Structure 1
Amino acid sequence: MLNVQGKWALITGASRGVGRETARFMAQQGCNLILHSRDVKHTASLEEEIRSMGVQTYSISAELGNHEEVTAMLDAIEVQGTQVDIVFNNAAVQIAYRTDFWNTPVEDFEASFRINFISVVTICNRLIPGMLERGFGRVINTTSGIINEPEQAGYAASKAALDKFTKDLSSRLEGTNVILSLTDPGWCRTDLGGPQAPNAVDSVIPGIAIGAFVNDGRSGRFFHAQNFVGMDLEEAVTKAEAQEAQRYVI
């Protein structure tokens, strides 16, 4: 199991929900954190909490639907001189539930793809080459288990694109010490998931973070956080490393 103490992780959507839980958990493991939100004020209290754990942290902001802001965020991290070792691409938006799905506005697809897919691609394409040069990196992209719901077509399609991108890219990382994984927190009671969701947000720990700790050089696996509920981190990593990647078959 990988020791992340002293490494730097970027967490998008860190101000609340799954991102906030992930940040707390990683800080408990001794990992330094870059906390992303749309406004640095949103992560101010989390910064204080994390610093009290004895790790370093700072906040950055970007509207992920704006490509220029995503690029500026990555520029700012570079200016700070931070070597990003781990990335949790957690942030996402679920635009609307369209009961009249035949008339889903094109804007649903445009916004979903900009935030849920294109921003992740931009982050990966910027940060993974440096990881490969340094010989270490972990990237965890957050997908969704939503299926057979055309009412959420924009959101679901953007996550399907993310799945394809992640699995295709992972095929180029075999034999390196850069591991690219997918995770799904499950349906949780967050601002995005809503109050009717069956799972508490803290149920995502430790499963949501497994991709940062696997240490066997294998990319392209999917880790469903709810499959690791009740496990300690070492047990969860052992279970995760026993999984095989489900490659696309042509």
Structure 2
Amino acid sequence: MSESQNKQSTNGDDTRIALVTGANKGIGLETARLLGETGATVLLGARDPERGSAAERDLRDEGSDVHLVALDVTDQQSVKAAAARVESEFGRLDVLVNNAGAALGFGAAPSTSDPDQLRTLLDLNTVSVVTVTNAFLPLLRRSAAGRVVNVSSEVGSIGSMTDPEGPFFGMSGSPAYPVSKTAVNMLTALYAKELADTSVKVNAANPGFCATDLNGHSGPRSARQGALVSLHLANLPEDGPSGVLWGHLASAQDPESYGVLPW
């Protein structure tokens, strides 16, 4: 998959309106940058106003049409206010990238893990997807080609994690992050079923192991490479899939190998 494959708008000559949550750094920022480069009007969702403003300035300096949207995905009132603003200023939403998230508890086995970390990540990584998607779904339904991208992970794939021949079989650590992403995968499948007869497609993105703050910048892939996965799903044509986990295939041992992953 190349960046040139993602240059065409799904809405003809209309400028797409795209919201990215957690977009002030990492894969979220790169997703906002790529969407801006393809000509979309980007709504940069950020909880931290200073970091959000800095990211907005940087992307505007690069020539993108970017608007900071104050958005704490764990605060229902903040989400409702953001949705009301988007409706007032833009009237619709074409792309929603549920990117905001975090990881906790690396190194702890399930039997010694902290249940509070699981509660925290389920709220931030999973419940927020429902909160944000439900708030913006009326605006997505107004789009000629609405696209919802839920940023997930291959470590949330039960199939990948239990494959004795796969690269994740020997992975150990706290269940908090993988479980939260497994739940995101199920939400993706359920929303896709509900919206199957509409113009809205819902898919989960696997960016791969990217160097970000989430992992101490230890991943072999860049944040931009990870963002290309979300961009691809945001730009799906009318005959594109809905209800799949798609992205980097770690089992292929190729940084440019992409496809559908097992749930």
Q: Which TM class, normalised by the smaller chain length?
A: 0.7 to 0.9
Q: Alpha-carbon deviation of 1:22?
A: 0.8
Alignment of 1:222 with 2:228, yes or no, is no
Distance 1:20 1:137 in 2: 21
Aligned to 2:199: 177
User: 1:80/1:40 Cα in 2 relative to 1: closer, same or farther (>3 Å)?
Assistant: farther
Which one of the candidate residues 107, 129, 144 is aligned to 2:138? Answer: 129
Amino acid at match of 1:66: D
The 5 Å alignment of 1:110-189 reads 110-146=119-155, 147=161, 149=171, 151-189=173-211
Cα 1:23–1:220 change in 2 (3 A) is same
- 2:228 alignment partner, one of 199, 206, 209: 206
3-state DSSP class of the match of 2:133? helix
Unmatched segments (≥5 aa) in structure 1: 232-238
Q: Does the 8 A contact of 2:49 with 2:70 survive in 1?
A: yes
TM-score between both structures, scaled by the size of structure 1: 0.82
TM-superposed CA distance for 1:28, in Å, is 0.6
Q: CA deviation at 1:63?
A: 3.1
Q: Is the 8 A contact 1:43 1:59 kept in 2?
A: yes
For 1:226 and 1:52, locate their aligned partners in 2 and report how far apart those are by CA, in whole Å: 34
Query: Alignment RMSD, CA only?
Result: 2.8
The answer (yes or no) to whether the contact 2:33–2:64 under 8 Å persists in 1 is: no
Counterpart Cα distance in 1 of 2:39 and 2:53? 19
Task: For residue 44 of structure 2, give the secondary structure of its aligned residue in structure 1.
Answer: strand
C-alpha distance in 1, partners of 2:225/2:204?
A: 17
SS at match of 1:151: coil
2:45 is paired with a residue whose SS is strand
**Distance in 1 of aligned mates of 2:217 and 2:65:** 33
Residues 32-77 of structure 1: CA deviation (Å, up to 9, x unaligned): 0111122121122332233345443211223333333333333333
Who is 1:3 aligned against? 9
Q: Which moved more, 1:104-113 or 1:70-79?
A: 70-79
Q: Choose from 78, 97, 104 the match for 1:88.
A: 97
Q: What is the SS of the residue equivalent to 1:171?
A: helix
Q: Per-residue displacement from partner, 1:134-169 (whole Å, max 9, x unpaired)?
A: 443100001111236562311111111110111122
Which range moves more in the overlay, 79-88 or 46-55? 46-55
Farther-moved stretch of structure 1 (117-126 vs 58-67):
58-67
Match of 2:66 among 44, 53, 57: 57
1:24 aligns with 2:46: no
Q: Structure 2: any 5+ residue segments left out of the alignment?
A: 1-5, 156-160, 162-168
Aligned-residue offset at 1:85: 1.1
Cα distance 1:54–1:156, how it changes in 2: closer, same or farther (>3 A)? same
